[in-house]
A and B are shown apart, each in its own frame.
Chain A
Amino acid sequence: MMLMKESVIMKIHYGTALGAVFLTVIHILMRMTQDFHQSLEYENVLANYEMIGYAILLELLLILISVHGFNGLRVILLEIKQGHTYEKVVSYGCIVAMAILIAYGTRTILMASMGMV
């Protein structure tokens, strides 16, 4: 069963790539607002999570990179081997892995931003 046309999936792949690059640049620039090592200290990282705007940016980044990364993995696995069952297992496996990673990352962002540490 085909979930979506490959041409549409590739447009999503490119769109998530461009979005992820833009947000990653902001994510890295946040580390440059102070000394690199200082910016990674517990209190500073927690303060980052508690900024609502930055928490939203992290959530978007999590979704964009997960979608792009697991679709990339799917493409690589389908290049290596083909077959009806194999393609189905790879496609659904990547969707499930992506959903688990997004759920796990979202849990961290939500709990940290709400001060549940």
Chain B
Amino acid sequence: MKDGKINVHYVTRVEGHGNIMVDLKEGAVKKLRWEIPEAPRFFEAMVRGRSYADAPHITSRICGICSIGHTIASLQGIEAALGVQPSEQTVLLRKLILHAETVQSHTLHVFYLAAPDFLGVNSVIPLATTHKEPLLRAIRLHRLANEWSDLLGGRTTHPINMVVNGWTRLPTQDELRTLRQRLTEAIPDLEAWVKIFKTLDIPDFERETEYLALQRDDEYAFYNGAIASTDGGTTPVTQYREKIKEFVVPYSTAKHAKAARESFMVGALARFNNNYGQLSPLARWAAEEMGLKPVCYNPFMNNVAQLVETAHCLEDSVRIINELLALGIKEEDRSVDVKGGTGPSATLRTGPSATLRTGPSTALRTGVGATEVPRGTLYHEYTLDDNGTITGANFIIPTNMNHNNIEGDLKALVPTIVDKSQEEITLTLEMLVRAYDPCISCSTHLLNVEFV
């Protein structure tokens, strides 16, 4: 189509609401917007005046799928402000539950939301007839991930067992051994899907951009790390505001972000592009089978990167369980010295927005938590007074950081498919948005797709 408008009102098979608006004139893009109409959530204001201990429970409600990730980022931010160093056991358990969330989220997205695009159907329901075995495997993997996060977190959504400096309920050695066995048994299900993806037609589209992800020396980073970029360099997370610049656009209630370039991407593909050398053997095999090589500039391959990461998380979790069993699961002291927070990981803010006054309860401490959740890097920053009451917070969620890049990709993609029909163009644009696995917010969906 050469002239006319494409208006996708509420892109389907994504979490939350987003509209694609395209105006074409003689085969050229006159205007293109990725519009977010979601209302703001006000969590940053909600936590002000609350105790530090409340933040992880409140902020886990920001999302129903990434509630574990929000809890962890929140715990890290609070612990950084208080100068608390959690134990090795606490950290290993957090890494284990974070892997559960990654597997749960990625399998849900790849199998139920994205795969229908590549298998030529509108939703996952028809796959029960055409791809019965693979769908059963997908359900099995998703169920394993749910029960895994149930076991550690106390329930599937909004975990309750994680607190500042520890866990209120520890898994038993037997529970961990059983989980380890189930993870090993899940590998053939994962392998079967890798072989399916190998046969699928992934659109061949590339746009060079910057990829940001957390990075560590010793492992493929999820739990924490420094901010790495495919354009080079690493930045400590305490300086995230210098690296990532947020700004407002008039047609979107979500902010946009940029770093070294006009836009950047976070998420599975960004992590893969930065840290591929640290993937587990199974994950490296999966990447090779599906033709994913670093540095990949094709956003559609984010789905493939998610399957690669699922393999990694399954295998890496076996390693983590082995470490936990070797340490022996022990009840630990979870006490927190609320006044103590001038440790090495806490920063006393002395900018114009913080006032250091002498006298009771007025010294302010800031801490930044950053963790890789399924869709990308998540930042939670808190300022506490010396009673441990939260005086300020800042959260940057990964999908927010991707909005700018999504728009950039849509703008570059449209001219390459402008000769196709309106239906085909619309589907391809929706597929691009879905490839990001955007979690615009957890709200109920409407079903309208409007053509203007």
**Are A and B physically bound partners?**
no
A residues in contact (CB < 8 Å) with B: none
